[in-house]
Amino acid sequence: MAANLTKRAFKYRFYPSDAQAAELSRTFGCVRKVYNLALAARTQAWARQERVNYNQTSAMLTAWKKTEELAFLNDVSSVPLQQTLRHLQSAFTHFFAKRARHPRFKSRKKSRKSAEYTASGFRFRDGRLTLAKMADPLDIVWSRPLPQGVKPSTVTVSQDSAGRWFVSMLCEDPSVKPLPATDAALGIDVGLDHLLTLSTGEKIANPRHERRDRARIAKAQRELSRKAPGDGANRARARRKIAKVHARIADRRRDLLHKLTTRLVRENQTLVIEDLTVRNMVKNHRLARAISDASWSEFRSMLEYKAAWYGREVIAVDRFFPSSRLCSDCGTVREKMPLSVRKWTCLCGAAHDRDVNAAKNLLAAGLAASVCGAGVRPQRSSPGGQSAMKQKTSRREP
189 is catalytic: yes
Strand partners, 272: 187, 315
Q: Are 77 and 65 in contact (CB under 8 A)?
A: no
Phi, psi of 205 (to 5 degrees): -65, 150
Distant-in-sequence contacts of 322-325, Cβ < 8 A, 24+ apart? 322/381, 322/387, 323/189, 323/274, 323/357, 323/358, 323/359, 323/361, 323/362, 323/365, 324/354, 324/355, 324/357, 324/358
139 is catalytic: no
Q: How many CB atoms lie within 10 A of CB 187?
A: 29
pTM attached to this predicted model: 0.83
Q: How many CB atoms lie within 10 A of CB 196?
A: 21
Dist. CA 36–CA 104, nearest whole Å: 8
pLDDT value for 377: 34
Q: What contacts 309, CB < 8 A, 6 or more positions away?
A: 6, 176
pLDDT value for 92: 94
* Catalytic entry in 116, 304, 318, 355: 355
pLDDT, averaged per 10 consecutive residues of the chain (398 residues), comes to 74 96 96 97 92 94 96 96 97 93 91 94 94 96 90 95 95 91 94 92 93 92 87 87 94 95 95 90 88 92 94 92 88 85 86 90 88 45 34 34
Model pLDDT for residues 38-70, shown as the tens digit of each residue? 999 999 998 998 889 999 999 999 999 999 999
* Catalytic entry in 274, 275, 304, 318: 274
Dist. CA 364–CA 185, nearest whole Å: 10
Dist. CA 55–CA 174, nearest whole Å: 35
pLDDT value for 296: 93
Strand partners, 189: 197
